[in-house]
Structure 1
Amino acid sequence: MPFTPFHLGPAFLLGELFEKKVNLFSILIGSIIIDVRATYCLFAGCRPLHGPLHTFLAATIVGLLIAWLIFSQRKWLQKITNKLRIEQSYSLNSIILGSIIGTWSHVLLDAPLYTDISPF
């Protein structure tokens, strides 16, 4: 999607459906981070617009990097969710699962829309 924030809606829905099993921060970040290169290419004019991050392999690698980042910052993020009264799991499994669901959902949503995406 050219407007990355539209990926947040499905991510919130998935986060609510799997509330106890996935970490909300990881699924939200995972759902939008895939478009970093596409956003750069949109302004820089490079082609193809979507490129290698819109594959399941790259989405998995990016998801694991997101999981590492969120897991390393979990104490700080836990304070935020506690203040907002959002009950979240910060276990390694919930963070990894959330980030993979987020990145893969992005690829799944974009793949049928754009001809320059080959997710496999």
Structure 2
Amino acid sequence: MPFTPFHMGAGLAAKAAIDRHFSVLTFGIAQIAMDIEPLIGMIRDADVLHGPTHTYIGALAIGFAVILVSPFICRPILRRYNYEARAMRASWLACPEHLSKGAVALGAFIGTLSHVLLDSLMHADVRPFWPVSNSNPLLGLVSVDAVYQLCFWLGAASAIAWLVGKYRHGRENG
């Protein structure tokens, strides 16, 4: 799923489930980092768009890189987000500006590993278990349309659940 927002459905589900222990921004950064290789492949008109980065080993390496850069990217975004939430009198939506190392790590690794899993279901050039195997036993287990629908509805339901949880928590503490 290069360059689609659908991967974020998994990230929103994790955010709704474990909120402050998971950085959805880091998850998003991981999605972008994962799709750099397909972008380069598209620019170069390569036959294979999903190479080493779309393996579980490659995803772990990218996850570690995301852990290093994510705090520097997330802090100003969170600062601005919180400013806007407060300006719109929606302080209950504010988030901590300092992300724990655990939240960043979970965001990075759930982001990169789920990316490989989802892309394995739909792209013939993904070899998720390389170098152990060149096969992709996940390809075609479900239709591409089903993957998109799952990601969309999971994201929509999880975003609503997160908002309701934030609102309830804000009312209890406000």
**TM-score normalised per structure 1:** 0.84
Partner of 2:114: 105
Query: In 2, are the aligned partners of 1:63 and 1:99 still within 8 Å (CA)?
Result: yes
Show the 5 A alignment for 1:42-61. 42-61=42-61
Query: How far apart, in 2, do the equivalents of 1:34 and 1:60 lie?
Result: 11
Q: Secondary structure at the match of 1:7?
A: helix
Considering only CA atoms, is the larger Rg found in Structure 1 or Structure 2? 2
Query: In 2, are the aligned partners of 1:78 and 1:90 still within 8 Å (CA)?
Result: no
Query: How far apart, in 2, do the equivalents of 1:3 and 1:91 lie?
Result: 27
Show the 5 A alignment for 1:77-96. 77-83=77-83, 84=85, 85-88=93-96, 90-96=99-105
Amino acid paired to 1:18: I
Query: How far apart, in 1, do the equivalents of 2:77 and 2:101 lie?
Result: 14
**TM-score normalised per structure 2:** 0.61
Amino acid paired to 1:2: P
Amino acid paired to 1:113: M
Structure with higher RCO (Cα < 8 A, 6+ apart) = 1
Query: How far apart, in 2, do the equivalents of 1:21 and 1:108 lie?
Result: 22
Amino acid paired to 2:13: L
Query: How far apart, in 2, do the equivalents of 1:63 and 1:104 lie?
Result: 8
Structure 1 residues not aligned, in runs of 5+ = none
Structure 2 residues not aligned, in runs of 5+ = 86-92, 130-174
Once structures 1 and 2 are overlaid, which stretch shifts more, 4-13 or 42-51? 4-13
